[in-house]
Structure 1
Amino acid sequence: MENLKGNPNSHLTAKERDNLSFPAKILFERKFLHGRILDFGCGFGNDVKILSAKGLDIKGYDKHYFPNYPSEKFDTIICFYVLNVLLPEEQSTVLMELSRLIKPTGKVYITVRRDIKFEGFRTHKMHQKKTYQCNVILHSKSVFRNENCEIYEYQHYNQLPKISDNHCPFCYPDSDRELVVESATAYAIYDKFPVSEGHALVIPKRHCADYFELSFKEQSACMFLLSKVKEIISSDYHPDGFNVGINIGEFGGQTVDHVHIHLIPRYKGDVANPRGGVRGVIPSKKEY
């Protein structure tokens, strides 16, 4: 099979319609669409036009057809059949973007296809170009499913109800904490006791004390998210450097028995001599 980097033709799967898409109809009829609404990956914008005509406050974003990226946060976001035409890394990027665009107490409704029989690249019948499709399963709450599609409801991780007696602060972060960004298996928050401005923690959702006991997929998700958090902090705080650190075990300085990766922004002049960086965990070994 041809090895294509990314899926540059994902937009070719967009379709023109004169009526509401099926998932939009379901969500509208069930009164799930509230407040300021964003259609993320809206294609030609048909649902935006129709729902707007019905009195809803909605706008659309699509990388190819409506490329002005939103500058605000929304009460409700809909994302229909987008993930099915993206490669895994692209899917993770979209999920992170959705987590950034939704308000802390808002909800995202993600629709995926359930009728895909062949996964991978194929030649689009009309456009005669390579397009990609795959099945997608999310860990969010399912609010609708039939043989053709499934609709998931996503909320910020710290807004979900507590379902066990686990008192780990990273399994159930406070609902009033600012969530920086989130993916399917990890999330990031700002440190309660920051070493510097913008100090953030990247945390896997599964309870695990030792980073080296995470699965490869979980470790990869944390590192992927770490890069996104670095991008956000760079834009918001403009640091001059970073330290990345993971404390493992009591004698490694770990105080919460749940993996958390520190991303610490560094600023010119924040210490007299920054040479050695993380070597400073043992002060006498910092200089070499």
Structure 2
Amino acid sequence: MDGINGNCIFCRIIQKDIPYAIIYENDKFLAFMDKYPINHGHTLIVPKQHYSNILEMPFEIVGEMYSLVPRLAKAITSVIESDGFNINQNNGKSANQIVPHVHVHIVPRYSAEKVKGQWPTRKIAKMQELQDLAQKITASLAHNYE
């Protein structure tokens, strides 16, 4: 596939070189569960074309990527019964971008959380747990959007 960076972890996931819990895929984007979730259901949306940051992306591709956010967030929040969600997208190390491949975070949030200006601590999720949740979200997407 053109535009793939073989050293990029997200490009390797896109190429299916690394097993992952995918919830959505089309010809331009892939959405999968974050292995280091802030909260249960934390999902990443990535363009299949490698872009280091959002400023490298054509405007219409940025728009297409963000148009997926409400659709995926609705399925995620309904399956895990969260009270809300954050949408986050970082660009550059100074903005806390850890993987230099554009990605949008959908982070479910709960009213019971006591957030004092910081995110909850990330965890390491088990792949089977992520895949089980991904199946439920994928089923919700198929049921609500076909």
TM-score by length of 2: 0.70
Query: Which protein is bigger by CA-based radius of gyration?
Result: 1
Match of 2:133 in 1: none
User: Within 5 Å, which residues of 2 pair with 1:1-288?
Assistant: 166-173=6-13, 174-271=17-114, 280=117
Question: Aligned to 2:114, what secondary structure does the other structure show?
Answer: coil
Deviation at 1:209, TM superposition (A): 1.0
Q: Match for 1:167: what amino acid? A: N
Task: Determine if contact 1:243/1:266 at 8 Å carries over to the other structure.
Answer: yes
Q: Which has the higher helix share?
A: 2
> Which protein has greater RCO, CA pairs closer than 8 Å, 6+ apart?
2
Query: Which portions of structure 1, spanning 4 or more consecutive aligned residues, are displaced by more than 3 angstroms?
Result: none
> In the aligned structure 2, how far is the partner of 1:271 from the partner of 1:240?
13
Q: Which residue of 1 aligns with 2:136?
A: none
Distance 1:209 1:165, change over 3 A: closer
- Stretches of structure 2 lacking an aligned partner (at least 5 in a row): 119-146
Q: Which sections of structure 1, spanning at least 5 residues, go unmatched?
A: 1-159, 274-279, 282-288
Identity across the alignment (%) = 32
Task: Output one character per residue of 1:153-179: Cα deviation in whole Å (capped at 9) or x when no partner.
Answer: xxxxxxx9xxx7712111121542111
| Of 247-256 and 164-173, the range deviating more from structure 2 | 164-173
- Please give the alpha-carbon distance, in whole angstroms, between the structure 1 residues aligned to 2:65 and 2:94: 23
Of Structure 1 and Structure 2, the greater strand share is in 1
- Residue type of the partner of 1:266? R
In structure 1, give the amino acid aligned to 2:88: G
| Contact 1:183/1:225 (<8 A) preserved | no
Q: Is the 8 A contact 1:185 1:206 kept in 2?
A: yes
Q: String of CA shifts for 1:30-50, please: whole Å, max 9, x gaps.
A: xxxxxxxxxxxxxxxxxxxxx
Counterpart amino acid of residue 172 in structure 1: R
Give aligned pairs, total.
114
